[in-house]
Structure 1
Amino acid sequence: MKRVRITLNPRGAYAPPIYERLAGGANYLERTLIINWNVSSPPTGFLFRLEGEYRRFEGELAESPMVSDYEVLPITARACYCFLEGEVSVAARALFENFTRGSLMTVPPIECNDDGTNTFTIVGTETDIQTAVDGVPEGVGVTLVQVGGKRVAADSVVGRLPPRQREAVETALELGYYDVPRDVTTEAVADELDCATATAAEHLQKAESTVMASLFGT
């Protein structure tokens, strides 16, 4: 098995209008991840994780002629999951399919970057990976970011948190403790958890330490 992390720079027919908004075209979105997708047959389905003023993007979905159905599932005031069903061009569909042929698998999520590019990992045989890279159309830029490496997919940080720490973080998210600006205090989180303020603070600090360490592979 080979592992390659690549960045694509789709343009024109390879970059649907909705994608352009997600990849730097909407400055009110701070981060966009494509969590999963289904391009096996029309209509195409996508599941995104959005961070930022996602309600503004919801308004754009309602007006988009290419979107046949969508649903926004809030996580916090500034983060959500978004399911979208709609039509994409033949070229855009072919670009996705190029990385699912033979032994290839695309490892979610696909990161949509502010410069219009997207970055993701593919695994498979060396021959199939090379065929996919060679098969990227001329209208799409392709850059090999990394070849090989020990990690195939990101470890689940949530799975590394003890139950009480996970409960504390979930409660803090629901209350808006991590919103910017922060309007909720540690005391409010403690009241919801029915524990001392110092205990709630300790749970949050330990969980935050684990999460931050995981971001940098420690």
Structure 2
Amino acid sequence: MEGDVQYCYLEFQPDQEWFQPAHKQVVAKPAVTHELIHQTNLLDDGTAVVLFEIVGDVDRITALLEEHFVALKYQLIVRDDSVFVYAHFRTNETIYELLRMFDQHEIVMDPPMIYTEYGALKVTVVGSKEIVAQAIEEVDADVSFTLTRTGSYQPYQRSLFSLLTPKQQETLKTAIECGYYRDPREATYEDLAAELDCAVGTVGEHLRKCEAKLLSRLVP
């Protein structure tokens, strides 16, 4: 059966820490530029497993995790500009209720989930607005939900773009709109810097990081 598949873009704002107090310690540091949850699953015993990524200074991130992160067990996968964490942890009430929401309703999460600087978690949920609203209504936990956007779901495109930081997203969108990636090229770094009101070197840095992040996921 063909037809538009709908998505809803949600923000969750909990009254307590999401996974544990380590989150607050990590994201408050200037060495961290982005934190993403790629996948998390609830197990039968009420515990959960998670795969998340922290982007930034890997030495500082690793040190912060070793000092503050608490889990039943975890492993670190270190890359050039990020640290992946695979962990088995005990859930609190909020996490348990939110993960159950996806098991009990006709909705699925399109990862990654993204932490904001103000402690919320941005999530793309695939499913009708009506079913998402019903699922939210049945969550028995102290969480505030904000529905920021709905529309027709475009697979993969949204997931890739969400890997970028807000500044990288803004720079890439401006570059595309101004014709930087057209052939022949219709804009320079200087043009983009004027549009974004930033330094020319900042434009170059953001675009190089965008290209490295996105292209590495396109090539098998």
TM-score range, shorter chain: 0.5 to 0.7
Give how far 1:50 is off: 1.4
In the alignment, which of 108, 113, 118 is matched to residue 111 of structure 2?
108
Give 5+ residue unaligned stretches, structure 1: 158-204, 213-218
* Correspondence 1:2-151 to 2 at 5 A: 2-12=6-16, 16-21=20-25, 24-41=27-44, 42-64=46-68, 66-76=70-80, 78-137=81-140, 139-151=142-154
Counterpart of 2:116, as a letter, is: N
Give how far 1:70 is off: 1.5
* TM-score, structure 1 as length reference: 0.62
8 Å Cα contact 1:66/1:87 also seen in 2: no
State the distance in 1 between where 2:73 and 2:101 align: 26
8 Å Cα contact 1:14/1:140 also seen in 2: no
Aligned-pair identity in percent equals 17
8 Å Cα contact 1:16/1:92 also seen in 2: no
Give how far 1:150 is off: 4.6
- Cα-to-partner distance string for 1:138-162 (whole Å, 9 max, x where unaligned): 62221111111352443687xxxxx
Counterpart of 1:51, as a letter, is: V
Give how far 1:74 is off: 1.6
Give how far 1:61 is off: 3.6
Q: CA RMSD in A?
A: 3.2
Give how far 1:57 is off: 3.6
Give how far 1:58 is off: 3.0
Q: How many residues align?
A: 163
State the distance in 2 between where 1:92 and 1:150 align: 25
Give how far 1:65 is off: 7.2
8 Å Cα contact 1:105/1:124 also seen in 2: yes
Distance change >3 Å, CA 144–CA 153, structure 1 → 2 = farther
**In the alignment, is residue 154 of structure 1 matched against residue 180 of structure 2?**
no
